[in-house]
Amino acid sequence: MFVIRPIKPEDIDQLMQLLSVSGHGLTSLPKDEKIIQKKITQSTKSFDPEVEAPGGESYLFVMEEVFTGKLVGVSGIISKIGGFEAYYFYRLKEEIKTSKMLGISKNIRTLSMEKTHSGPAEICSLFLHPDYRNSQNGRFLSLSRFLYMAENQNRFEEHVIAEMRGQVNEQGQSPFWNAVGSKFTGMDFIEADYLTMKSKSFIDELVPNYPIIVELLPEDAQDVVGKVHDNTRPAKHILEQEGFEFKGLVGIFEPGPVLETELKTVRSFADSKVIKIKEILKDQFDGTVQIISTSGANKKFKATLGHLKIEDGEAIIEAVTATALKLKVGDSLRYVSFKPEVKSQKLEV
């Protein structure tokens, strides 16, 4: 059984152990203890009850095995990207050029730099230990964030994005960065991406702000534009089921697709409901799996997977769920179905 909760300062050692198996793709959480310590401190401050509006706060959550206390996953939210330093993307556009004389049509893709100082919210920093990867754990780790956002809507921008991890090889090399960014910065992918943890100013200073014609790049660089890393495909699929879409933005380093939507349209955000606990049963019972979290300003956020029954407008939950979330009869909880309902399709004869 697992719970998801805000990260704590004492989690630093376990988090570093978890990140040691993350490979080269988790660029928002590098294997640098000083940077990770700073991010944990920022997250702790972000959860301050006094925060009333999005101001660039960065929230980190960990997935903890209840009976052992082992950390097996991490995920994050940024309340608003941008701020003092801009946030950069490429806008991918496609145009079909046709010659009637030659009888040829060509699809031409261009990438144009965009930057924002006042951007949307972002869900980010998703990583699950390889030994615990399955559809249930990954979905739970990803979607539990939206219950926190539903509980604290005033803390987040209404538009939300998710920058998907792009295609980087086992040696930490990005074919796209090698073909474009490295030519102007003199840095390889790992070095440049690490530098963004300190400052992104070199992007404006060195990378030309001219459209890039994708078809003029080396073939291996062309092939990764808008593509996700193989390990990220499940995460992308989960978000698409929740209502996220690709609308043309890609990252500037790999460049993976950026999915986006309005927060109010995300299924696990919009469909989540708050209900009071009527009864806690010692025995487990069958039913649809729900993501269940604490609710209310006086409750620290925690989420787990469990079952609940609704009777007379109130919830009946299992004792194991109540124990994991430290809930009692009379408390409120927030819940949402673990998976979207599959709508039956009417067959036409």
- Beta pairing partners, 274: 334
Residues 6+ apart with CB under 8 A from 89: 113, 114, 115, 249, 250, 251, 252, 258
CA distance 238 to 340: 10
Tokens representing 87 are 């946030």
Q: Is 253 helix (H, G, I), strand (E, B) or coil?
A: coil
- Which residue numbers are catalytic? 229
How far, in Å, are 4, 67, 173, 214, 299 from residue 130 at the CA level?
Answer: 17, 19, 21, 34, 31
CA distance 28 to 24: 10
CA distance 143 to 150: 11
Residues 6+ apart with CB under 8 A from 90: 111, 112, 113, 114, 212, 249, 250, 251, 252, 255
Using alpha carbons only, give the angle 149, 150, 155 rounded to the nearest 5 degrees: 45
